[in-house]
Amino acid sequence: MSSKVTIHEVARMSGVSIKTVSRVLNREANVKSDTRIRVQEAVAALNYRPNISARSLAGSKAYLIGVFFDNPSPAYVTDVQLGAIARCREEGYHLIVEPLDSEGDVASQVQPMLATLRMDGVILTPPVCDNVAVLDVLEAEGVPYVRLSPDRDVDRSANVRMDDSRAAYEMTAHLIGLGHTDIGFIKGHPDHGAAHLRYEGYVKAMTEHGHPVRDDRVEQGWFSFRSGFEAAERLLSGDDRPTAIFASNDDMALGVMAVANRLRLEVPQTLSVAGFDDTPGAKVVWPQLTTVRQPIQAMAAAAADLLLNGEASGDAETPPSRLLDFQLVVRESTGPAPKG
Amino acid sequence: MSSKVTIHEVARMSGVSIKTVSRVLNREANVKSDTRIRVQEAVAALNYRPNISARSLAGSKAYLIGVFFDNPSPAYVTDVQLGAIARCREEGYHLIVEPLDSEGDVASQVQPMLATLRMDGVILTPPVCDNVAVLDVLEAEGVPYVRLSPDRDVDRSANVRMDDSRAAYEMTAHLIGLGHTDIGFIKGHPDHGAAHLRYEGYVKAMTEHGHPVRDDRVEQGWFSFRSGFEAAERLLSGDDRPTAIFASNDDMALGVMAVANRLRLEVPQTLSVAGFDDTPGAKVVWPQLTTVRQPIQAMAAAAADLLLNGEASGDAETPPSRLLDFQLVVRESTGPAPKG
DNA sequence: TAAGGCCATGACAGCCTTGTCAAAGCGACC
DNA sequence: GGTCGCTTTGACAAGGCTGTCATGGCCTTA
């Protein structure tokens, strides 16, 4: 088709000035409705689309939102992208993805990019969202940003989070509801704030229901399959073992399942296993894993929303924060506690 | 810092014209080397970065490469992004990601996007890379594109592929090398060209090594966990069963492992299992899966390369194509054939 | 020495849109 | 009829950069 239709041609075709076409395109007020319609018809007829470069050069918006990540979980990353784009498309914005290499000097990777692209906003996923150098650069360049599930300095800037503590509480309560009283727990990487929150939720649920939190039932893990595997070996060796294990993420829970498998402990008849995150792996194992789903797409959409509606611009005294609901996904890896 | 440094200031600081600064930035010839150095120093001192909008408005490049996908596999998608960005960064290009919804009218989603952004090129992943409507729009808009692992009309345009047939051949040969002669095969989704190629490689290896391809050892699958599970149930029920199963992707192989697990068939002592793709799930099961790794990042980088060096521009009579090497990943799910 | 050619550089227009500001249109009211 | 105040519209500059073309210096060649 048309290699390049400009606003000029639309103006000529509809018999108004370029500026009026611009007004219609930008949904500005004070355009007579029949003028508006005439222009819209011309736009449709010529199949005209405004040139984003010219637009951002002339105006103040770039129509670009950045997504910065350095995340080992592809599923998380794509969910963020899908959620963000869903909201962005409504307003004609596009997504620029920038994988960061946190091994290197992240700030120096970010500054040039911000200076060239002049994006309207940036969404930061963990762990980049806790990289102070990156935040500093963003603020220096005056680019609004929203952090997803930040760990540190939560009040520093706009963010979107999930209630990890309450989710862990409810998962624990779910197990207790199934009759378990002796529930093992595998902690996550101590550098991640979420790890602490999840542990907190577990402790709270156990305590409130009158079950002791035994030291030898809590193992340190690192969010990896291997660490879950090793923690499970410690928890499950010998005859005195818990009837359920709640791992603070799915990868570790899968490690637990592997050990159970090896030891011929039937899941969930002999041992219930619960995870956290609802990664793709959770559906691939057998039996499928009971876990907690973060509404990642919704969180990303909320982040995009904060950016697009201007709330994240950093002028408010209290940065906006949105807390989204999680979802307990009960599948086959948890069941009633064995009798006796 | 500097809210916006323009090329003008660099020109003043280094005592040359704006145009000369532009020449230095674009690595053009015919600039005296001490002039070049002076300019570069000024650029560094002012921390100047060219404004991408102004650049693309004035020039012919947009410095943007698009990645279109509608891919159920997040791992694949992020690998593509990582590979593409690695090559793009070398030349100051950025990545725009556009998830497509192939349920809807894809072409009409794509055209406006191409018209507004005027990207310099687009990378298409399966299955979008086989959507003729999308290809038509790209060509109509004159946007160069590269397809990753296309199935149909392979010669229509630039593409990057892997030798699926040979990979399947080598995996089968690997099993034969371990002493297996009775090897089951689970085919992939018949709409995917790769499914046929993989089957072809299996047949070729069996035949060349003098082993029969028994009809009751080949099952139709659909690339899903469930279809692998069901195919394995058919292959493994009864006493007359193969000593190895080669599933044409990992998800199905995981289904096989689940069945083996249920039937108490030890992997790999009693049954060897091989997959294809090296998805994250392959490392999460126990024992870890022997599989074939596609060099996805390298393929995406090759695609970006074709775009950036102009080979994909569609002017050559034969569209360029790159065939990359796969990698056999031997882990614990395959072992010597049981004796007797 | 004059003519021709190449290299290095700069002046200026143009890319397509938005922002500013002024002007024109319109209705109502005194 | 004239004035005021509002809505609607347009002329023009500006945004930061690259493309085109012209200029001047210097080297080569006859």
Q: B34 and B81: one domain?
A: no
In which band, very low, low, confident or very high, does the pLDDT at B1 lie, cut at 50, 70 and 90?
A: very low
Residue B58: pLDDT over 90 = yes
Whole-number average pLDDT of chain B: 93
User: Quick one: which residue's CA is nearest to D10's C1'?
Assistant: A17
* The amino acid at A288: Q
| Protein-to-nucleotide distance from the CA of A43 to the C1' of D6, whole angstroms | 29
**Which of B52, B141, B262 is facing A116, going by the closest CB pair?**
B52
User: Quick one: which residue's CA is nearest to C9's C1'?
Assistant: B20
Residue A168: pLDDT over 90 = yes
In a domain, A207, yes or no: yes
Tokens of B143: 């946007």
Tokens of A245: 């294990």
In a domain, B336, yes or no: no
Q: Which CATH number fits the domain that encloses residue A149?
A: 3.40.50.2300
Nearest residue on chain A to B258, alpha-carbon basis? A286
Q: A189 and A246: one domain?
A: yes
Q: Which CATH number fits the domain that encloses residue B24?
A: 1.10.260.40
Q: B197 and B243: one domain?
A: yes
Per-residue pLDDT, averaged over A245-262, amounts to 95
Q: Of A128-142, A300-314, B99-113, B230-244, give the lowest mean pLDDT range.
A: B99-113
**Which of A57, A262, A286 is facing B258, going by the closest CB pair?**
A286
pLDDT, tens digit, 9 for 90 and up, residues B151-174: 889 999 999 999 999 999 999 999
Q: A156 and A301: one domain?
A: yes
Number of domains in chain B: 3
In which band, very low, low, confident or very high, does the pLDDT at A73 lie, cut at 50, 70 and 90?
A: confident
Alpha helices in chain B (DSSP H): 7-14, 18-25, 33-46, 52-58, 74-90, 106-117, 132-140, 164-177, 193-208, 225-236, 250-262, 281-284, 296-308
Contact A225 B284 (CB under 8 A): yes
The answer to whether B59 contacts chain A (CB < 8 Å) is no
In which band, very low, low, confident or very high, does the pLDDT at B89 lie, cut at 50, 70 and 90?
A: very high
pLDDT, tens digit, 9 for 90 and up, residues B253-271: 999 999 999 999 999 999 9
Nearest residue on chain B to A100, alpha-carbon basis? B82
Per-residue pLDDT, averaged over A198-213, amounts to 97
In which band, very low, low, confident or very high, does the pLDDT at B279 lie, cut at 50, 70 and 90?
A: confident
Q: B142 and B30: one domain?
A: no
Residue A259 to chain B, least CA–CA distance (Å) = 9
Domain range for A318 is: 64-162+296-323
Residue A4, phi then psi, degrees to nearest 5? -160, 115
Q: A125 and A189: one domain?
A: no
In a domain, B156, yes or no: yes
Q: Which of B153, B150, B148 is nearest to B305 (CA)?
A: B148
In a domain, B169, yes or no: yes
Query: How many CA within 13 A on the CB side of residue A165?
Result: 7
Query: Whose C1' is closest to the CA of B9: which nucleotide?
Result: D16
Q: A158 and A300: one domain?
A: yes
Whole-number average pLDDT of chain A: 93
Q: Which of B304, B251, B328, B279 is nearest to B80 (CA)?
A: B304
pLDDT of residue B3: 62
pLDDT of residue B206: 98
The answer to whether B44 contacts chain A (CB < 8 Å) is no
Residue B2: pLDDT over 60 = no
CA distances from B249 to A235, B277, B280 (A): 34, 6, 12
pLDDT, tens digit, 9 for 90 and up, residues B283-332: 878 899 999 999 999 999 999 999 999 999 877 789 999 999 999 999 99
In which band, very low, low, confident or very high, does the pLDDT at B340 lie, cut at 50, 70 and 90?
A: low
Q: A46 and A191: one domain?
A: no
Per-residue pLDDT, averaged over B115-125, amounts to 95
In chain B, which among 198-257 make CB contacts under 8 A with chain A?
225, 251, 254
Contacts of B92 in chain A (CB under 8 A): 116
Contact A47 B258 (CB under 8 A): no
User: Quick one: which residue's CA is nearest to C7's C1'?
Assistant: B30
Judge if the beta carbon of B26 is closer than 7 A to nucleic acid strand C.
no
Q: A282 and A192: one domain?
A: yes
Q: A313 and A290: one domain?
A: no
In a domain, B289, yes or no: yes
How far apart are alpha carbons A47 and A110 in whole angstroms?
36
Contacts of B49 in chain A (CB under 8 A): 112, 115-116
Q: A195 and A284: one domain?
A: yes
The answer to whether A79 contacts chain B (CB < 8 Å) is yes
Q: Identify the three-state secondary structure at position A276.
A: coil
In a domain, B152, yes or no: yes
**Which of A49, A81, A286 is facing B115, going by the closest CB pair?**
A49
pLDDT, tens digit, 9 for 90 and up, residues A218-234: 999 999 999 999 999 99
In a domain, B276, yes or no: yes
For residues B2, B64, B118 and A41, what is the CA-based torsion angle, rounded to 10 degrees?
Answer: -70
Q: Which of B280, B340, B258 is nearest to B77 (CA)?
A: B280
Residue B212: pLDDT over 50 = yes
pLDDT of residue A285: 83
The answer to whether B51 contacts chain A (CB < 8 Å) is yes
Residue B210 to chain A, least CA–CA distance (Å) = 35
Q: B275 and B222: one domain?
A: yes
In a domain, A336, yes or no: no
